[in-house]
Amino acid sequence: SQQRFTLAVKNLSSEDEEEQVSVTLLPDIDNEGENVQIPDTAHQISTDSWFQVGFVLTTGINSAYVLGYSGTIMVPLGWIGGVVGLILATAISLYANALIAMLHEFGGTRHIRYRDLAGYIYGRKAYCLTWTLQYVNLFMINTGYIILAGSALKAVYVLFRDDDQMKLPHFIAIAGLVCAMFAICIPHLSALGVWLGFSTVLSLAYIVIALVLSLKDGIKAPARDYSVPGTSTSKIFTTIGASANLVFAYNTGMLPEIQATIRQPVVKNMMKALYFQFTVGILPLYLVTFAGYWAYGSSTQTYLVNNVKGPIWIFASPMYEYLDTKHGIKGSALAFKNLSFRILVRGGYMTLNTFVSALLPFLGDFMSLTGAISTFPLTFILANHMYLVANKNKLNSIQKLWHWINIWFFAIMSVAATIAALRLIALDSKTYHVFADL
């Protein structure tokens, strides 16, 4: 049975104040009856099966972004670099996510937030830094989703009525409104329920449609050019940028928050979900990415559907959980206070996301920059270093060296990819005006 009590702990956001934090003690199935503390939260914890969490992860990687990987990964890298890169990114992403998953109950506390885990291991400064990186990561992922959704709506519009009356910023605004309504109606991750099923079906539907149309065009098309475009200098920058897109493809930057929803034993069940994500879950991504590049070669656009000749959910949960918990938004999702809070706060958040999406609708640049400044540090650098610190007395010298090699390699890649992404944004900013109709 669950036991609930109040514990005085030092607030991670202030070194001098103490606050009363409510936690729940649950028997730790993984550690033979030891109690594991769970911080208080307005969202549901330990309610979902590993299979549902696996689908959340799988839907996350097989989102609308998969329609951009042919142009943002395969075109800059070519066949050999693209295929090898995707396979390597799959392996290292599974490894890094497994490291984070194994730290979920580190120190007798269940770390349901990424920033809590970093703060527990390193202290207040790392808590704040991790929270900042995660916020930037999720904001930019949402921005990319809205750009993609707007691009998809415009593609349908042009198919039936190519009169140039409505432009991309208009469709981005429509997409942002729909995303805001979804954010307001779904109070937390565990409430996805039937929406997860709809999301999975719709995701697979547009992936299959893009796959079929690409194959159809590829069969009829003449010989394609698969050479990597650009000058020697530009190829260096685009290759580095593509490496950021590779890690962006598989990682959400919010694994502890997703793992928080899974039932006990949380580590074993999360590993099942990760294995599902990185085996069955990656197949649609592989298929549409390779088929799109095969069909159109080096002329493949950033948004694959723009190439075809036929008919043509959002990761902000950590921010919502933080605000809901801070302001005591619990109980019925339809209660006036709770509903009005979600409309005001989440609606405002999505409005800002939508404005940035319409202002700078450069999808490939957002993917590269997100991977560079947040996915590399959160998923690879922090994961390896936190695991190294948490298990420093259990690892031998070779294992420690391995983790340090990972830390320094991905740190260098993060810096290089950030420079490459900023260069791409600078070049696109000269080519296109703000609120461009791409």
Is pLDDT above 80 for 24?
A: no
Contacts (Cβ under 8 Å, ≥6 apart) of 178:
149
Give, as one character, the DSSP assignment of residue 263.
P
| The pLDDT value given to residue 268 | 94
Mean pLDDT of 132-140: 81
* Model pLDDT for residues 282-319, shown as the tens digit of each residue: 998 999 999 999 988 888 877 676 665 544 335 456 66
Answer whether residue 22 shows pLDDT above 70: no
Query: Which range, of 23-37, 130-144, 336-350, averages the lowest pLDDT?
Result: 23-37
Q: Is the pLDDT of residue 160 over 80?
A: no
Mean pLDDT throughout 325-330?
71
pLDDT-based confidence at 362, cuts 50/70/90? Answer: low
Averaged pLDDT for residues 199-223: 82
Please give the pLDDT value at position 86.
94
79-83, 235-239, 428-432: the lowest-pLDDT one: 428-432
Query: Tokens in use for 39?
Result: 């911080």
Q: Which amino acid, 107?
A: G
Distance, in Å, from the CA atom of 161 to the CA atom of 5, rounded to the nearest integer, reads: 62
Say which residue, 184 or 223, is predicted with more confidence: 223
Count Cβ neighbours within 10 Å for each residue of 105-118 and write b for 16 or more, e otherwise: bbeebbbbbbbbbb
pLDDT classification of 272: cutoffs 50, 70, 90: very high
CA-CA-CA-CA torsion for 308, 143, 58, 277, nearest 10 degrees?
110
Domains in the chain: boundaries: 50-430
* Res 33: pLDDT: 32
Q: What pTM did the predictor assign? A: 0.76
- The confidence score (pLDDT) of residue 96 equals 92
**What 3-state DSSP class applies to 47?**
coil
Rounded to whole angstroms, what are the CA distances from 197 to 39, 183, 257, 286, 386? 29, 17, 20, 21, 34
Please state the rounded mean pLDDT for residues 175-191: 75
Over the chain, what is the mean pLDDT? 78
Give residue-wise pLDDT tens across range 143-157.
Answer: 877 887 787 788 777
Task: DSSP letter for 229, please.
Answer: P
Residue 112: predicted pLDDT: 85
Per-residue pLDDT band at 10 (split at 50, 70, 90):
very low
pLDDT at 325: 75
State the pLDDT at residue 412.
92
More confident residue, 112 or 272: 272
Give the Cα separation of 125 and 103 in Å (integer): 19
pLDDT at 377 over 80: yes
> What's the CATH architecture for 50-430?
Up-down Bundle (1.20)
With 50 as the cut, is the pLDDT of residue 257 above it? Answer: yes
